Structure 1
Amino acid sequence: MDFRQLRFARAMEFTICEINNRSDLLPDITLGYQIYDSCSDVQMAIKVALQCENGLDPVFNDTSSCFKSAAATVPAVVGDSTSSASISMARMFGPFGIPQVSHSATCACLTDKNQFPTFFRTVPSDQHQAAALARMVKYFGWTWIGAVRSDTDYGNYGMTAFLKAAQEEGICVEYCEAYVRTQPRSKLESLADVIRRSSSRVIVAFLHAPDMKCITEELARKPVPPIQWIASQSWIIHPDFLKINMCAGALGFGFPRSVIPSLREFLLHLSPEKALKSPLLTEFWESSFSCSLKGSSKGVRQCDGSEDIRALQNPYTDTSQLRTTNLVYKATYAIAHAIHGIICNETQCDKTITFAPWQIQHQLKRVNFTTKNGYRVNFDSSGDPEAVYELINLQFKKDGALDFVTVGYYDTTKPRGQEFKVTSAVSWFGGQNEVPVSVCSESCPPGTRKAVQKGRPVCCYDCIPCAEGEISNKTDLLDCLRCPPEFWPNSMQDSCLPKPVEFLSWDDTLAIILTVFSITGAFMSVCVTAVFYKHRTSPIVRANNSELSFLLLFSLTLCFLCSLTFIGRPSEWSCTLRHTTFGITFVLCISCVLGKTVVVLMAFRTTLPGSNVMKWFGPPQQRLIVLSFTLIQVIICVVWLKLSPPFPFRNLKHYKEKIILECGLGSAVGFWAVLSYIGLLALLCFILAFLARKLPDNFNEAKYITFSMLIFCAVWITFISAYVSSPGKFTVAVEIFAILASSFGLSICIFAPKCFIIVFRPEHNTKKHLTCKVPP
């Protein structure tokens, strides 16, 4: 005998007695009742339903004065306890309109009013319990679980709802096994082996209490790894599991604990004489005290009246956890209120009114009241109540015994997102205080992403480092995040840092070296100018066109100094200045060299008989040549600056991990036009100098110009390829180097020999020596 189920039946008796003694509910009306035992069996439940419909003799009737209706049918039913039995009964009652209010059938399928139009219940649907279980599993971080269910409507429908909710929460199920205690033992052994071999340490058990008991007994036969049980309400509140240490630490949702005043006294107010009036109570008495009330059993002692029911310790007398019992209490009151709504008005009740069961069904949809112990009772359009659960944890007490401890709740009446809450410390399996871990793969740390393993659930994955330029700043990200263009990941790839900005700054070692060379070159040009000025009347200075020489030295000084504009953070003015200054000063320089070369050639042509060419290349014409060539470059630069001038910009493409701050060309055509014009003049100067290379050595500087132009052309031809391929700040450095190298080449090749003669060989600085009239 299931003493707990007997308590449910007697709770209905107690509720009816309480209703019959009330003056505000069905006054002067006495309710009767019949109690049938379905034995939790579908076939028996169908038989009971037929008995209720046909008015056959009841198993137990304690009210002999009940009014017998003409139809002789039961107008309303409380029960059954199991979902499978309730489904069968609901299919039988539906066509007859007999309302059925269950206190424990939780299958979500019973919500369907098309199939079960007369079914109501005071217990929440498993749809809510499944969502609550999935929320709890997610809350504690378990993503890799096992699942076991009873192979019944309760287990199958409940587990289906849970698996759907778990999938939405990102929870993976390693296995899902079904079992019912009537199956062969081989099935139970196979299930136990699956649990032992599994890697998941958390098991969601959507099981009837007897099925769960069988599984724990089988697991106890051999060593089993620590298991964190997640229980459905059917067994987490069952007192039998307080004796099974394997279930210590189990978590599950149960109905709220309640207090029903006077129920305990009613249950204990039972004597042998009263027990004899009912076969159910007779069986309970004889089973509890191991004696016979009727004295017909052989080998069993006769009950002598000394039995003390208050001394019993079993689920029947245990009223400390009135959870499902309170749902019976509510279901019985709901039917009473529905009948009251039919035969009573605000002042009195008419006990002569006859009514049909469908009228009670209609009234049940409208009931809305509060029971004497303070619980609200109403039904939604599906015949279901609001879902309120307590989160129950099986914990050891100080005396070493297990106990039901409420550690949280799940309440669908609360705002969305606040339904579930843990309010107390949870005791886990093995008595540990830390939340157990049950994952298929360890969490992927920041800097990595999850890559699902082929052919396995999504919870089983590998941790792959983020690709270059990407980060993950949280654990278990599916995809890495690309840093914004101006940012780059740190070494851990868990955050984006601003990219360092690179340019040729003044404090850079390379910039310092180039600055020193630039200032040295300018200083050298100034020194040469001073030497030439001091000896400006000497033959070697006057013979080499002193005016163009001074202009050339001035332009060389500007060439050396213009390289300084390429150093430092690029700005609009510096980008504009560096390219135009460079282009104009170099053309000025080459124009002076070109003018000197032309003068040398024309000077020797005047020695030919009848030649008066030199009159076209006097000082005014030389100035005009220099001015004309320079003016052309100025025009090119002005057009460039007008149409598309150089500008500072942040180069994000050349380097992935840093920003190059450089000057954009604006118009590439303008830039290359400036360089091409310089190259054209240099080439022309080289050709003319090459043609004059065989003139008398003592006067002729054409070979030095030739050599200087050769260096100049070689430097700038090399510069083009180096400029295109050099990265970042080295592009600027290459350009500065080309400017300095070509400037030094011109300065040294053209002026070094003259300065050597002026300073160290003054005896050669004579007109006779220059005209080759002095023997070598």
Structure 2
Amino acid sequence: MRAALCLGAVGAQQPLRQWGQQRQQESGRRRAQQQTRLGGRRRNNPFPVPHEWYQPGEFIVGGVLSQSFYNFYEILYKEHPSKNLFDVSYMVPKFYQHVLALVFAVKEVNENPNILPNITLGFHIYDSYYDARMTYRTNLDLLFKMHRFVPNYKCDTQKNLIAIIGGLGHDTTFHMADTLGLYKIPQVRVESDANQVPSFYRMVPNEAHQFVGIIRLLKHFGWTWIGLFAMNDNSGEHFLQTLEPLLSQNGICSAFTQRIPEQLHIDNVDEMHDIALNMYVGIRDNKVTTFIVYGESLAITALRTIIFLSDPTNKENTSFIKVWIFTAQTDFISMGLLKVWNVLLFQGSLSFTIHSQNLPAFKEFLQSVNPSRTQGDGFIKGFWEQAFDCIFPNLDAPMDVSGMCTGEERLQSLPRSLFEMSMTGHSYSIYNGVYAVAHALHGIHSPRSKQRAMGKSERLKLQDLEPWQLHPVLHDISFNNSAGETMSFTDQREVEGGFDIVNIVTFPNRSFLRLKIGWVDSDAADGKEFSINEDMIMWHNDFNQVMPISVCNDYCCAGYQKKRKEGQKFCCYDCTPCPEGKISNQSDMDDCFGCPEDQHANKKKNGCIPKTIKFLSYEEPLGFSLASLALCSSLITTLVLGTFVQHKDTPIVKANNRDLTYALLIALLLCFLSSLLFIGHPGKVTCLLRQPTFGIIFSVAVSCVLAKTITVVAAFMATKPGSSMRKWVGKRLTNSIVLSCSLIEVIICSGWLMTSPPFPALDMHSVMEEIIVQCIEGSVTMFYCVLGYMGLLAIASFIVAFAARKLPDSFNEAKFITFSMLLFCSVWLSFVPTYLSSKGKSMVVVEIFSILTSSAGLLVFIFAPKCYIIILKPELNNREQFLRRRM
């Protein structure tokens, strides 16, 4: 026997003693009543007479349905002979439905003329007392006796055991397998386990479906911080070893893992207190809202006891308001003093259950159950007394009439924690197990399958059929039960299908409803493996019908990303803002991500907004100002050119090569106008022309300046007697300098356009909030070659002008050219680093400014003094004055 009553809680020793006193009084009353029924005799037999129910037939379906009785007397009294506190059996009334499901299935089979005609199916049902010794004892009873216990001797041929339906517990099933496996008797199980035994046929789906369902359920609701409760046995250990890696793989953490003890001696208060302390701390954790409970139905009993002892007044404590997720092995049960405890604490719980169908005939069958009309049922009196809290009269001894069972009590009046009128999943599995055996027998005895199954042509007599001969047919069986569902086994001898997901709705009268809200079946068609209707869920009232949250810390808002906390599980993290240029548009994101190229992050970093298209346009103030400045400068240059043309015959205009002056002014005019190519939406033509045009025109301008300076030096040298420079002074020298220097720049630009010409492109990355429409140089090397050659000409002009600045002359241009070229070189030397450090339209602005500044410098320093004399000092612009100044 194993009784999993987990008792004790923090600071609850006094309530525990009070509860123990109540339990002692209750036990004393029960013990006195039981001894009265037994004639005042104490049972000293180490193997008490098992509770059983027998109905004869050609074939017997045996049932060892565990967990029906918890016999405290058999273990606790023998371990502690001096203690008489618990020498009484307590039954779990709810499990009586499993017995009735087997009986009902046999009854339907026998009444169905299409299954096993002219053959009566019988049954023999035993209770295992949830004890290994009793399980072995009942196995021997099923195999070898009819009315008397004679081990290893079959004394009655009428009892032809053909198959056995095992109980809900893993241990009970494997204790049965130790004996029954020797005889290869088919064992139909109503619980699932990872271990495989050849003679086992599981009437429940593969437990892997349930693991998948748990993970899908947690991910659906976003519960990542959960508590785990599991029975402290092999099945609980297997559950934890399987589930915990799945949780980690799916981003879910277990806040704690608590094992529920299999057995506690209720008189050991200290032991119960220590166990309750560990469980109590986990339950009171406010961060953990979701608990998963794995284990047989005693797990519920343990949890209810712990919570009761922490709140003996039976008032709901909001610290225990959680979302409980129960596995299919667990059921809500009440027994003993637990019957007076409500189940409101588990309101809104979610439970995986074995799929079942409503059978109206089964409900009618339950309504007909009555102690006076049931023959051979060794369970019903114990069930009736436990369920209705009454005692059947003993005719041999006088008894108080108060609290007597009348037999007229109605099952439908019991709360669901004591008994359910609708067939539960476990009962449905037992029901289908009987039908599977019946259809297998029917298949063997049908004429078409006899030779295939038995390998013989002669007729097989009923009494000659051995249980092991049922395996070939049972493995491949497929049938429709009375509910219209098709039942068949997989290759692993497990029934096909999945699990239902139900919502537990509780009531103050200790009853509850199961509301189906979804299902899980990994073998279903794509898209139907998991389904849940969240709108149907009735959460606990304290949640105000808002989906609970179970996380280690608050979710990270949009615009933030997770940052793991050192030394803690990965489900516990801090929230940090997204890096610059990245966003998170959902809560609780692991990493931020970048926006599409044509969008950028908003200020809150929780969304993307379209980038604005930017280029230096005429409409914006800066573009308009630069364009206006270029036009004004062009106009001034035009006026200067007009002034020089108008005064072309004056000495000051003729003094420094009049044609070269006109060429320089025209080049400067084009330089100012070339800056307009950099303003406006860049197109293929403008991108193709802007840099080469700028380079060639500036080269012409600087070449003209270089020619002017060389002309000054050559003219001075030509004035010396016997000088050979006389033949070089004139238009031939200046034209050669201008043409040759400009031609080199033209060649460079032509090569640039032919090899890798500039083209328009969109720059998505230089400026985060903008899409810059710009011209790509194509070949950066060629671009800097153009600038470098122009700079080389400027430096040469500066050097020559600087050397000739002090030559005697009536109007020496060299000194003015020196200043202009100094400014020109300064502008373009500073242009390179400024241009490289700029982005977007700022690069265009820098280049336009450099063009305008350098052109204006040449115009001002070279032509302003001449214009001053021509316009304001015309008296100085005559031959006599010119010669006088020269002398």
Question: Which TM-score tier does this pair reach, normalised by the shorter chain?
Answer: 0.7 to 0.9
Q: Could you tell me whether the CA contact under 8 Å between 2:92 and 2:333 is conserved in 1?
A: no
Q: Which residue of 1 aligns with 2:263?
A: 182
Measured against aligned partners, the alpha-carbon deviations of 1:665-721 in whole angstroms (never above 9, x if no partner) come to 444443344334333433443344344434445343333233333333333333344
Q: Which residue of 2 aligns with 1:319?
A: 421
- Mapped pair 1:109 → 2:199: no
Q: Which residue of 2 aligns with 1:63?
A: none
The letter of the residue matching 1:420 is F
Q: Could you tell me whether the CA contact under 8 Å between 1:282 and 1:293 is conserved in 2?
A: no
Q: Which residue of 2 aligns with 1:195?
A: 283
Q: Which residue of 2 aligns with 1:207?
A: 295
How far did residue 479 of structure 1 move? Answer: 2.9
Distance 2:617 2:403 in 1: 108
Report the identity percentage.
32
How far did residue 497 of structure 1 move? Answer: 4.6
Measured against aligned partners, the alpha-carbon deviations of 1:396-439 in whole angstroms (never above 9, x if no partner) come to 46x86642132323253642432433346221123632211111
How far did residue 525 of structure 1 move? Answer: 1.8
Structure 2 residue runs without a partner (length 5+) = 1-90, 265-270, 311-316, 451-458
- Mapped pair 1:341 → 2:443: yes
Q: How many residues align?
A: 760
How far did residue 219 of structure 1 move? Answer: 0.9
- 3-state SS of paired residue (2:126): coil
Measured against aligned partners, the alpha-carbon deviations of 1:124-150 in whole angstroms (never above 9, x if no partner) come to 344333333333333233222112122
Distance 1:690 1:219 in 2: 102
How far did residue 501 of structure 1 move? Answer: 4.6
Distance 1:729 1:556 in 2: 24
Q: Which residue of 1 aligns with 2:55?
A: none
Distance 2:611 2:743 in 1: 43
- Mapped pair 1:767 → 2:879: yes
Distance 1:191 1:476 in 2: 30
| Match among 736, 758, 761 for residue 870 of structure 2 | 758
**CA shift in 2, pair 1:322/1:260, >3 Å:** farther
The letter of the residue matching 1:326 is Y
Measured against aligned partners, the alpha-carbon deviations of 1:128-174 in whole angstroms (never above 9, x if no partner) come to 33333333333233222112122244544445444455445433221
Distance 1:8 1:587 in 2: 104
Measured against aligned partners, the alpha-carbon deviations of 1:356-385 in whole angstroms (never above 9, x if no partner) come to 110123332133222334343332232221
Measured against aligned partners, the alpha-carbon deviations of 1:244-268 in whole angstroms (never above 9, x if no partner) come to 2222222212342522526645763
| Match among 350, 358, 363 for residue 258 of structure 1 | 358
- Mapped pair 1:118 → 2:227: no
| Match among 510, 515, 521 for residue 406 of structure 1 | 515
- 3-state SS of paired residue (2:162): coil
| Match among 96, 110, 123 for residue 183 of structure 2 | 96
Q: Which residue of 1 aligns with 2:471?
A: 361
- 3-state SS of paired residue (2:263): coil
Measured against aligned partners, the alpha-carbon deviations of 1:97-138 in whole angstroms (never above 9, x if no partner) come to 111223x3x23235x1xxx21122323344333333333333
**CA shift in 2, pair 1:470/1:298, >3 Å:** same
Q: Which residue of 1 aligns with 2:828?
A: 716
- 3-state SS of paired residue (1:771): helix
Distance 1:205 1:633 in 2: 85
Structure 1 residue runs without a partner (length 5+) = 60-65
- Mapped pair 1:565 → 2:646: no
Distance 1:358 1:582 in 2: 101
- 3-state SS of paired residue (2:278): helix
**CA shift in 2, pair 1:564/1:340, >3 Å:** closer
- Mapped pair 1:228 → 2:327: no
Q: Could you tell me whether the CA contact under 8 Å between 2:820 and 2:858 is conserved in 1?
A: yes
- Mapped pair 1:128 → 2:202: no
How far did residue 769 of structure 1 move? Answer: 0.6
How far did residue 94 of structure 1 move? Answer: 1.4
- Mapped pair 1:392 → 2:502: yes
Q: Could you tell me whether the CA contact under 8 Å between 1:258 and 1:322 is conserved in 2?
A: no
**CA shift in 2, pair 1:51/1:690, >3 Å:** same
| Match among 460, 466, 475 for residue 578 of structure 2 | 466
- 3-state SS of paired residue (1:233): coil
Greater alpha carbon shift after TM alignment, 372-381 vs 494-503? 494-503
The normalised TM-score by structure 1 is: 0.87
- 3-state SS of paired residue (2:293): strand
Q: Could you tell me whether the CA contact under 8 Å between 2:764 and 2:772 is conserved in 1?
A: yes
The letter of the residue matching 1:108 is D
- 3-state SS of paired residue (2:227): strand
- Mapped pair 1:595 → 2:680: no
**CA shift in 2, pair 1:500/1:524, >3 Å:** same
The letter of the residue matching 1:563 is S
Q: Could you tell me whether the CA contact under 8 Å between 1:572 and 1:647 is conserved in 2?
A: yes
The letter of the residue matching 1:530 is G
Greater alpha carbon shift after TM alignment, 41-50 vs 483-492? 483-492
| Match among 227, 231, 253 for residue 172 of structure 1 | 253
How far did residue 650 of structure 1 move? Answer: 4.4
The letter of the residue matching 1:46 is Y
- Mapped pair 1:6 → 2:6: no
How far did residue 39 of structure 1 move? Answer: 1.0
The letter of the residue matching 1:703 is K
| Match among 133, 137, 141 for residue 51 of structure 1 | 141
Measured against aligned partners, the alpha-carbon deviations of 1:45-83 in whole angstroms (never above 9, x if no partner) come to 122123323336469xxxxxx99439x773321222322
Q: Which residue of 1 aligns with 2:46?
A: none
The letter of the residue matching 1:93 is L
Q: Could you tell me whether the CA contact under 8 Å between 1:291 and 1:301 is conserved in 2?
A: no
Q: Could you tell me whether the CA contact under 8 Å between 2:228 and 2:291 is conserved in 1?
A: yes
Q: Which residue of 2 aligns with 1:62?
A: none
**CA shift in 2, pair 1:570/1:145, >3 Å:** same
Q: Which residue of 1 aligns with 2:268?
A: none
Q: Which residue of 1 aligns with 2:82?
A: none
Q: Could you tell me whether the CA contact under 8 Å between 1:108 and 1:157 is conserved in 2?
A: no
Q: Which residue of 1 aligns with 2:11?
A: none
- Mapped pair 1:538 → 2:650: yes
Q: Could you tell me whether the CA contact under 8 Å between 1:289 and 1:307 is conserved in 2?
A: no
Q: Could you tell me whether the CA contact under 8 Å between 2:186 and 2:201 is conserved in 1?
A: yes
Distance 2:352 2:234 in 1: 19
| Match among 529, 536, 559 for residue 425 of structure 1 | 536
Greater alpha carbon shift after TM alignment, 564-573 vs 347-356? 347-356
Q: Could you tell me whether the CA contact under 8 Å between 1:181 and 1:214 is conserved in 2?
A: no
**CA shift in 2, pair 1:148/1:306, >3 Å:** closer
How far did residue 759 of structure 1 move? Answer: 2.0
- Mapped pair 1:383 → 2:493: yes
| Match among 27, 40, 48 for residue 130 of structure 2 | 40
Distance 2:172 2:587 in 1: 47
- Mapped pair 1:444 → 2:529: no
Q: Could you tell me whether the CA contact under 8 Å between 1:483 and 1:496 is conserved in 2?
A: yes
Q: Could you tell me whether the CA contact under 8 Å between 1:295 and 1:302 is conserved in 2?
A: no
**CA shift in 2, pair 1:654/1:305, >3 Å:** closer
Distance 1:735 1:416 in 2: 63
Q: Could you tell me whether the CA contact under 8 Å between 1:14 and 1:266 is conserved in 2?
A: no
Distance 1:569 1:286 in 2: 95
Q: Could you tell me whether the CA contact under 8 Å between 1:646 and 1:665 is conserved in 2?
A: yes
Distance 1:201 1:304 in 2: 45
Q: Could you tell me whether the CA contact under 8 Å between 1:251 and 1:391 is conserved in 2?
A: yes
Greater alpha carbon shift after TM alignment, 742-751 vs 665-674? 665-674
Distance 2:583 2:181 in 1: 61
Distance 1:341 1:485 in 2: 70
Q: Which residue of 2 aligns with 1:295?
A: 395
Distance 2:289 2:873 in 1: 100
- Mapped pair 1:84 → 2:193: no
The letter of the residue matching 1:408 is I
Q: Could you tell me whether the CA contact under 8 Å between 2:392 and 2:404 is conserved in 1?
A: no
- 3-state SS of paired residue (2:536): coil
**CA shift in 2, pair 1:762/1:401, >3 Å:** same
The letter of the residue matching 1:88 is H
Distance 1:450 1:665 in 2: 43
